[in-house]
Amino acid sequence: MNDDVIIVPMSPAHIAAIARIEAECFAQPWSARSLEEELNVPSAVFLTALSGGEVAGYMGAHHLGGCAYVCNVAVARAFRRQGIAAKLVRAQTAAAREAGMSEITLEVRHSNAAARALYEQSGFEWIGTRPRFYSDPTEDAEIYTLTFGGGSNL
């Protein structure tokens, strides 16, 4: 656990570093421009994890129709297994709950064991599969949801 980590709203100063993390993690990374556009989207809640002032990871979601949809979560390789993604998930979950959302939901590649373990450990429930949802490479998506009904286990 890294106690030196703080979670803050994503700001223009974080964009270049987050785009580098995206490129490190994904075959189809979000560009700096796409990330920057999210700063002006009213439904967007994008959070940055700072470790000793350095951008270590981020997590984005949209609050739409009473539900929080997670777009992405990524942590730079150098900062992994320090509890940073778990902290981002807790912060997004708290933001969704505070905004009055009824649930927070996401899709993850079937083969992404690290992310699936992260969500399961964070209290999300597997609710189904979207066949062939992803491309490059083609793969099923697993859907995970955390519903805010009368208190959660977070």
Residues that bind ligand COA (CB under 6 A): 25, 73-75, 80-86, 108, 112-115, 117-118, 121
| Closest to ligand COA by CB, 40 or 127 | 127
The candidate with the shortest Cα–Cα distance to 88, out of 49, 38, 61, is: 49
- Tell me how far, at minimum, the Cβ of 82 lies from ligand COA, in Å: 5
Q: In this structure, what are the phi and psi dihedrals at residue 84, rounded to the nearest 5 degrees? A: -75, -45
- Tell me how far, at minimum, the Cβ of 74 lies from ligand COA, in Å: 4
| Closest to ligand COA by CB, 99 or 117 | 117
| Closest to ligand COA by CB, 39 or 115 | 115
Angle, helix 84-98 to helix 113-121, in steps of 10 degrees: 50
C-alpha gyration radius of the chain: 15
d(CA 57, CA 14): 10
Q: Please provide the distance, in angstroms rounded to a whole number, between the alpha carbons at the two ends of the chain.
A: 17
Cβ(47)–Cβ(91) below 8 Å: yes
| Closest to ligand COA by CB, 29 or 150 | 29
- Tell me how far, at minimum, the Cβ of 150 lies from ligand COA, in Å: 26
One-letter amino acid identity for 73? V
- Tell me how far, at minimum, the Cβ of 59 lies from ligand COA, in Å: 8
- Tell me how far, at minimum, the Cβ of 86 lies from ligand COA, in Å: 4
| Closest to ligand COA by CB, 15 or 59 | 59
